[in-house]
Structure 1
Amino acid sequence: MPERNSWTAPVAEDKVDATIRVPGSKSITNRAYVLAALSARPTLVRAPLDSRDARLMLAALGELGATSEHTADGVRVQPLTPGEGEVAIALGNAGTVARFTPPLAALGARTVRFDGDPAIRRRPLSPLLTALRALGADLDDEGRGAPPFTVRGHGALRGGTVELDSSASSQFLSALLLAAPAFESGVTVRLVGKPPSEPHIAMTLDMLRRFGAAPERHLDEFHVPAASLSLADYTVEPDLSTAAPFVVAPLVAGGTVRVAGWPAETTQPGDWLRSLVRELGADVTLDGTGLTVTGTGRLPGATLDLHEVGELTPVIAALLCFADGPSVISGVAHLRGHETDRLAALAAELTALGGDVTETEDGLRIRPVPLHGGVFHTYDDHRLVMAGAVLGLRVAGVEVENPATVGKTFPGFVEAWDGLLNPA
């Protein structure tokens, strides 16, 4: 998508009626790339997401010795190969790259320097770095617990048992579990504190099994033994969290939206949207072609605990600004450590457009009032771009700042959103 300073989110002049295809899941794509790199033979990752975060992951794996090539069917990833010397990995603002690749660096023999955008230096990482040291990694972060930091690989990592505080991000746990098959003794992780987004943990365990590992879980203890991974090809599902603004559009504007390719069974947290929009009054059908949502343009207020699906909060908060009554979102204190402090950003930006939105200890309180146009700042956060688009369905003159930042997960989002309101 071309760089633009702002984008005027289009108003829905009539009920929506469109079929939408969203790109592959970022969470699944980057997990698949990591597991492919740890495999004993090349893996073809079919229908992957092509976005900034996915490209950063491929580039990082390339620096670590796992080359890749784009084919007509997807991306073929080669196994990690031994190498020496010093390399640098650019993290951008990609949490999965910052968290999933340091364990891989510790497995090799390179000295690897990690750094990225200013925003990534503010995102939590210390518990993972502490756990890696306990498992034998040679790591220097000069006490920051954040990028920039250096990992000195010595050709192997012993692994073993470690305690991990994953309450700030489930990605800390996933990072250790994904790399565990390549550790000499595998890894046993004992959680301290409850991690957010249980679906992402289930996703990691499911994909490990698909690639040939044998993860085990007993309550808050996880064990992944050493194993040789191998999978000839893996197909990435559409990103259901990225589909969120399209799924909720009929509740704001009325009409019908069909999301093609919605899987019948999935570990993606975005699948929860089906039950949410049904609870808010939409008609919902899932069949072999995808998901169909029909709404009236009216919805009630709601009290929602989004702890397991926190990434949906920006779009849902925008949606609830149009409810018939007040709403409360809870369970998402961890969003303060995402691409930006999402709770503070949402409260500030929705209030600036005339809304009555306040932060709570772990969420937001939303009282619907008439909104007006204005600049909707996005803080280099892709989910805030999507929230701004939802607001624009009913509010004229919503100027969404830096829409290109949505390229993190959906480079063609603006064009797809325009197509929602003006189908061919």
Structure 2
Amino acid sequence: MSELWPAPRPLERVDRVVSLPGSKSLTNRALVLAGIAEGPSVVRRPLRSRDTLLMAAALTSLGTRVEDTADGDWEVTPGAFDRDAAIDCGLAGTVMRFVPPIAGLGTALVSFDGDPHMRLRPIGQVLSALRDLGVSIQGDSLPFSIHGLGSVPGGVVTIDASASSQFVSALLLAGARYDVGVDVRHVGKPVPSLPHIEMTVQMLRQHGVEVDDTDANRWAVAPGPVRAVDHDIEPDLSNAAPFLALGAATGGRVTVRGWPTTTTQPGAELRDILTLMGCEVSLADGDLTVVGPARLTGVDLDLHDVGELTPAIAALCALADTPSHLRGVAHIRGHETDRIAALATELGRLGADVTEREDGLSIRPATLHGGTFHTYADHRMAHAGVILGLAVDDVLVEDIATTSKTFPDFATAWTDAVHGART
């Protein structure tokens, strides 16, 4: 069994200012685009976590140079993708899904595998689409391999992306380098996490790539060069969730520095969600401040487009004085773990009155108690556990180290925030 970590509980009302590491989503997209660009570029203030280090290692294995600069940035020089390679995806969906479409551009045999649970995460739609676009693939799920033929014909492809928006982003990121580009059409239930596709489209356009997204459920990328562009990485707004919850759950004040005025990150929705829960939320001079209420109010929310926030929001709802209903997130059953089932189990283990729905959770006020909160090797589940620990004594979070996926040394940063040090 993994080590149990006592979640810290504040001894007084908090008043904190925190700075957060960079966005995983932006960092890994920037790395992929830099790896297929016309020339060298720099990724400034990148997140350095397990997921992004795995992406940098994957690109390096293919022949791209990813080098540290004196300022802590990454300088990326594209390579020829002519080396046989074994890619470790870990638990990074972006590595498993974003790297195969560019591996097909090379002339090497590239194999993919990852952590045991990664073999359960969906990838079949991407592999099927790549076959239709002219990529040679062996296998239908992790582990699988790609034999690059030096180019990818591209063209029109139809997929069901209702399990993950990354299916669409994966094909779009590489599409400009395909002979005739790529025209991705989605059929099925609504695509979740649309802000992440908007993020991909915006970054492609920054690289001079022509993208047509005027029609619903269709994204067409024209063939052409990918211009080398330097990227400044925003703080990870989804990782802001537990820190803002620190203010919300304690009736205190927490300010997150460097909050962008406009962004495609789904975490931006925290502003509206926390307001609905009774918090005072303000943005001034790049600082987002949340002041928690005396009592949290439950919410009825469709989180379809911001599913990654569900664990943190569910934990706050378990601390609220009125019922909550979180829906529209059936797709998070295919994330690092089945997050709906895991949240129902772990919240219930600590006394929450929670009902698991097909696409979400219903949570009613209840008296919570301490105990072990299991994380299932899922960083977002760990966030939920530490949020409960803000208001409940003796919460033990199992495997807090899983947070290294997107936040190096989260445990230290969290303890400092709860007990008074500035991060």
Superposition TM-score tier, normalisation by shorter sequence: over 0.9
The CA distance in 2 between the partners of 1:116 and 1:192, in whole Å, is 29
In the other structure, the counterpart of 1:80 is 79
- Greater shift after overlay, 145-154 or 225-234? 225-234
Q: Which amino acid aligns with 2:194?
A: E
Q: Which amino acid aligns with 1:325?
A: T
The CA distance in 1 between the partners of 2:255 and 2:172, in whole Å, is 35
- 1:415 Cα deviation from its structure 2 partner: 1.3
The CA distance in 1 between the partners of 2:420 and 2:176, in whole Å, is 47
- 1:231 Cα deviation from its structure 2 partner: 2.9
In the other structure, the counterpart of 1:44 is 42
In the other structure, the counterpart of 2:196 is 200
The CA distance in 1 between the partners of 2:94 and 2:243, in whole Å, is 25
In the other structure, the counterpart of 2:128 is 130
- 1:187 Cα deviation from its structure 2 partner: 0.3
The CA distance in 2 between the partners of 1:232 and 1:334, in whole Å, is 33
In the other structure, the counterpart of 2:61 is 63
The CA distance in 1 between the partners of 2:332 and 2:229, in whole Å, is 36
Whether 1:352 aligns to 2:343 is no
The CA distance in 2 between the partners of 1:418 and 1:254, in whole Å, is 18
- 1:296 Cα deviation from its structure 2 partner: 2.2
**Secondary structure of the corresponding residue to residue 132 of structure 1:** helix
Q: Which amino acid aligns with 1:242?
A: N
Q: Which runs of 5+ in 1 are unaligned?
A: none
In the other structure, the counterpart of 1:423 is 420
Aligned with 2:5 (options 1, 4, 7): 7
Q: Which amino acid aligns with 2:61?
A: E
In the other structure, the counterpart of 2:382 is 385
Could you say if the C-alpha distance between residues 232 and 221 of structure 1 is closer, same or farther in structure 2, counting changes exceeding 3 Å? closer
In the other structure, the counterpart of 2:235 is 238
Whether 1:328 aligns to 2:325 is yes
The CA distance in 1 between the partners of 2:51 and 2:370, in whole Å, is 31
Aligned with 1:23 (options 17, 21, 24): 21
- 1:412 Cα deviation from its structure 2 partner: 2.3
In the other structure, the counterpart of 2:207 is 211
- 1:227 Cα deviation from its structure 2 partner: 1.7
The CA distance in 2 between the partners of 1:399 and 1:171, in whole Å, is 33
Give TM-score scaled by structure 2 length. Answer: 0.97
Query: Residue 246 of structure 2 contacts residue 418 of structure 2 at CA under 8 Å; is this kept in 1?
Result: no
- 1:190 Cα deviation from its structure 2 partner: 0.9
The CA distance in 2 between the partners of 1:410 and 1:318, in whole Å, is 19
> 1:148-163 to 2 correspondence within 5 Å?
148-163=143-158
Could you say if the C-alpha distance between residues 383 and 297 of structure 1 is closer, same or farther in structure 2, counting changes exceeding 3 Å? farther
- 1:80 Cα deviation from its structure 2 partner: 2.7
Q: Which amino acid aligns with 2:66?
A: S
Query: Residue 264 of structure 1 contacts residue 287 of structure 1 at CA under 8 Å; is this kept in 2?
Result: no
The CA distance in 2 between the partners of 1:414 and 1:111, in whole Å, is 39
Give TM-score scaled by structure 1 length. Answer: 0.97
> 1:366-385 to 2 correspondence within 5 Å?
366-385=363-382
In the other structure, the counterpart of 2:165 is 170
Aligned with 2:293 (options 292, 296, 320): 296
The CA distance in 1 between the partners of 2:186 and 2:200, in whole Å, is 16
The CA distance in 2 between the partners of 1:72 and 1:408, in whole Å, is 24
Could you say if the C-alpha distance between residues 232 and 361 of structure 1 is closer, same or farther in structure 2, counting changes exceeding 3 Å? closer
CA RMSD after TM alignment: 1.2
- 1:137 Cα deviation from its structure 2 partner: 0.6
Q: Which amino acid aligns with 1:80?
A: G
- 1:323 Cα deviation from its structure 2 partner: 0.9
- 1:122 Cα deviation from its structure 2 partner: 0.2
**Secondary structure of the corresponding residue to residue 82 of structure 2:** coil
- Greater shift after overlay, 275-284 or 333-342? 275-284
The CA distance in 2 between the partners of 1:26 and 1:326, in whole Å, is 32
Query: Residue 64 of structure 2 contacts residue 81 of structure 2 at CA under 8 Å; is this kept in 1?
Result: no
Query: Residue 60 of structure 1 contacts residue 89 of structure 1 at CA under 8 Å; is this kept in 2?
Result: yes
Query: Residue 249 of structure 1 contacts residue 257 of structure 1 at CA under 8 Å; is this kept in 2?
Result: yes
Query: Residue 34 of structure 2 contacts residue 229 of structure 2 at CA under 8 Å; is this kept in 1?
Result: no
The CA distance in 2 between the partners of 1:242 and 1:33, in whole Å, is 20
Aligned with 1:306 (options 299, 303, 306): 303
**Secondary structure of the corresponding residue to residue 414 of structure 2:** helix
Whether 1:104 aligns to 2:99 is no
In the other structure, the counterpart of 1:398 is 395
The CA distance in 1 between the partners of 2:81 and 2:263, in whole Å, is 35
Q: Which amino acid aligns with 2:64?
A: A
- 1:121-166 per-position Cα deviation (integer Å, ceiling 9, x unaligned): 000111111100000010010xxx3200010001000100000110
- 1:4 Cα deviation from its structure 2 partner: 7.1
Query: Identical aligned pairs, as a percentage?
Result: 52
| Alignment length (residue pairs) | 418
In the other structure, the counterpart of 1:92 is 90
Q: Which amino acid aligns with 1:146?
A: S
The CA distance in 2 between the partners of 1:201 and 1:369, in whole Å, is 38
